[in-house]
Structure 1
Amino acid sequence: MPGYTQVDTSRLKSIYDRCLDFSEDKKDSIRYYAAFIEEEAVKLKFNKGHVLSCRLKGIYEEMMSNYESAIHFYLESLDAARKLNSIEYEISALSDLAILYSNIKEPQQAKTFYQQAARLSAYKGDIYNVVSTYNNLAVIFMQLKQFDSARVLLDEALRIGKPYEHTVDITSTYNNLGSLNFKEKKYDEALPFFRSNLYTHTLNNNVGDLWIDLLNLADLFTEKKQFDSAAWYAERTMDLARKLGSKSKEADSHAMLAKLSEYKEDYYSAYDHLKSWYELDTAIVNGDTHQTIAELQERFNAKEREAANKLLKEQVEKEMLKARSITLLAVAFGIIGALTAIAFITKRNANRRLQATNQLILQQNDKLAELNYEKNSLISIVSHDLNTPFATIQVWGDLMMHESERLSAEQQRALSKIIQASNYGEGLISRILDVEKKDIGNHKLRIENFDLTILTEDVIDNFKVMADKKEIRLHAELPEKELYILSDKHLVSRICENLLSNAIKYTPRGKNVWVSVNEEQDAISIKVRDEGVGIEKEEMPHLFSKYSMISSQPTDGENSNGLGLSIVKRIVEEINGKISCESEPGKGSLFTVILRK
């Protein structure tokens, strides 16, 4: 019965529209109705049923963070919409693909789909789609840091949508205007947009959009350093993410809490949240996923090319039949084949050249990073090791100056020049040390798993010559088994080198220095103990301060610029560790570094 069919197809469309409003806590219902619409559409011969079902399946898979499957269904929905010549559903499929690519950090691909959707929306004259597409495209421009273009699109979306705000949801425009002001550090201008949306979505009980509002406010108050407000909003985002069962939202909530903890200088909490974020984010999108997604996209493009070629071939065949010329038909196919081959070869060669260029750029970037790392290492070695020879020159120069009456006037002038040059050299090294100190915060962490026992043995070996010159005995108390730690090997090495150098420097001749490494539950301790001059109790609070000049002095005339322990403390904090000191004047000092595995 025609009437019965019309009612049922309308009911399927109504079910589809209702599913689009479902939040993530109802994703299982979306999957159920997608299958239901597919099955009923076949019975009713409803040709749009496949488009609707594929889109709902894609939405469900995206909510489950199964991005490969989501793209597969969105592409299938796009193909079906184009076969039906349905601009409305084609716009929906393009927008779905653009949003997903944006979520998996591929803004250029997202931009391509949004631009296609924008052109179709403008052509169709649908206010809702125009506003929605301009909003989404503005988000991509923000990701690409093209803020002026984003503002033009958002202003236009607001101009078009504002007169229809009772029928067109413009909260997305408000959200994006708030985000744009936020990215431009105009926090007070962003706040009214975020608060307006929070009020609206709280009234509507729209949990998914409410999560976005809370995250925006948490981020904004973090930047304004209003940490109590930021914490309240950030913790609510985590509650909502878990209620929705959304891994991507939970990952973003962890990232927000990590940022807040970092701003509050609570580095342990920041590390824990970052670790949770990394585990979730890596599970959601990894390299294999991107590869599979690229293959899906390429298969869809190939399908479109095949359809276009098929259409072209049919047109050619019709023309050949009209001409009734077998010769012309053969020539035409030959030309088409030649052009196709030329185009294929040209494109393949261009892709190879592009791939080779990209590979060369990557290699050059890696080489530059390696050279920069070697440069910084060289500065570190030179700035510390050159202190000793300059100090030695000064000591011998001062000694000779005491006997200067035995020298001729020319020799005295020469000696004065030597001491002057030595002082100048020491000043240069001090400035290099100062630059190095500032550079610690810019050091890019290179986390790796390495054996701390082997590293400590190497450091001790490097200082044996320095210790032998003062007849100091070095003792290594290291575990017999391998002891691995996940950290920055270069920075851990610098910690050991600085502490051991100081221990030798402040220990008298003929004494002892001990270096020990121990495993302590979920952490590792590095201890350096000496029989040196020790540190006065009242000077202990200032021990790790920059340029702290304590009364304790090196025992053999070595130079001390007050930066060594300050640098060590900065490095230890950089890798989320702790450092402490116990000391007694005349008996020596014990420095302890605790690093988490």
Structure 2
Amino acid sequence: MKGRKILFILLFLMSGSVPPLFGRHFYQEPAKPSHDHVSLVDSINHLAGVFLRTEPDSAQALITESLEVSRQYDYTAGVARALFLQGNYYQNRGQLELAYRTFYESLQLHESEKDKKSVAECYNSIGDVFRRQKNYKEASRNYDLSFALANEIGDSALVSENINNFGDVFRDQKDYDAAILRYNEALEIDLKINNGYGVTDGYNNLGDVYLYLADYDQAISYYNRALRLAESMNNQLEVADNLNKLGRAYAAKDDLETALFYSKLAATVSGRIRLTEELMEAYYSLAEVYQRVGRYDKALESHMLYSKFQDSLLDVRSVRKISELQFLFESEKKDSEILLKEAELETQSVQLKWLITAVILLIILALVFYRNYISKQRVNNKLIAQQEEIKRQTERLEEKNRQLKIINEEKNEIIGMVAHDLRAPINQVMSVVNLMHYEKESFSDDMVSYLSIMERATTRMKFMVSEILDAEAIENSTFNMDIENVDLCEIIEEEKKNYRLYADKKKLKLTTELVGNPACARVDKNIYRNIIENLLSNALKYSPEGKEIKLILRFEADRVVTSVKDEGPGLSDEDMKRVFGKYQRLSAQPTGGEESIGLGLSLVKKFTEAMNGEVWCESTEGNGAEFFVSFEKVTSNSNK
């Protein structure tokens, strides 16, 4: 490195030009991070960006790690990106002053790196901070800067996001026609480029406008579209936001029971991932609905929680502090420009003193060898320090993993409680839907269509709640079983008939095969049927058209083995490690757009082991999968 610097200066002297060597402007070649360090930081930042939408606390831990590594190796772009993600974390938690400070610091670093896209993203986020503080003039100014850069670099997704933000400003100022115009313009762009997050935002925004216009059915329709899309992308931020909005829409429509359901669910999701603003809105909605249904104790409790979060979010001192910070940052930027001009003038002056420069160069040449020796010593010491730091980081990661395990157990408990509480209202809704079927001849076509949608939705919700409660019952050892000698052949043929219509619909061939001499097995008949239904449903869900699914029953010496074999995409090595875990979503995608909460295979494992059976899977990626369950075979001497 030093040798290249000296060669650079000598070449300048030979060409008749002399680089500045006087004072603070003496040439220093900046240290550059290695390719491995850049890849590591970029990977951490990417993962933190994903976790911001699903697990903000995990994202915060990764952001802190990225900042430490980036600053240690002087990776400016990595620091800038991590600060941008940090600003989003603060903004999602309602800490707007910290968000503004962090976004602005990120902006300055991105400008020094000449990264126009990231600069545009920073202006966009700073505009969001001002809009939330109702400072629409500053919000619009920052959105304009972001929009101009997005157009310049041809980033359609960022252009769409800015158009949506302009719509937000119009909406907040009650110019709803202009807002709808902007939202539809942005939505058209996002649909064209298949931008899932942008489409979700567009549906959300249109739902907001129609809610303000008291067109509740239209608002609920857009909110439901956004919710389904957010769930499919596991975007927990948008899921919480949409649940809140559905609660408000149903409350405005005087459907208080449904409003209470969505607001409670919004509070649960927001609290789980610590979303301050969404949690505040959920408590506000709960307070309003509880008051309208006469539950004044619950209304007071919810309103107190709402007030607590509102005070932290809309603190007037925070608004004033952001304005002061903006002034300081603008002044600092101007001072930097002045210093840069002074540096250029000083450089021109120093270049006239080339004779003095030549003498200094000779001295530098003499000192280089000594400095190289010192540098090697420093590198060795730095390597030792890095090894110690890696050890400390490993210990911190182990502690974080322990904390995450505890949080996961608490999450499972909350999910079980929510599922149990949901069962009664779902049954009530299904009862109402069944009653409405008797009157559907008097309904319009649209009403019949809505009734069908409600029936499918409630059936799916009841199935999901049942799966969650079944899993909870097995884990708590409260699941009752009736183990007896069962002829599995009959159940296999029944399930083949039950699923034939589904298989024909997807153009799949469903066959059965018996291997060995038939005999009974020791199982609970209904639970075994549930296991087969889960395995068949899973195979049908992931099998492409024209393929075959085999339901095989093998009678071995002392075991009866049932397997479901498909010709789908198979499982990767990573999928095989977590295939029977709870709430797991594997890499393969359903071929018919089906949805899943990730409990089916987990229940298969728990049911099988509860009946003293064995379960496993054999698969190679790209060549289908075969799931096996094995139970005790009934011999001639076995008793029922």
TM-score by length of 1: 0.49
TM-score by length of 2: 0.46
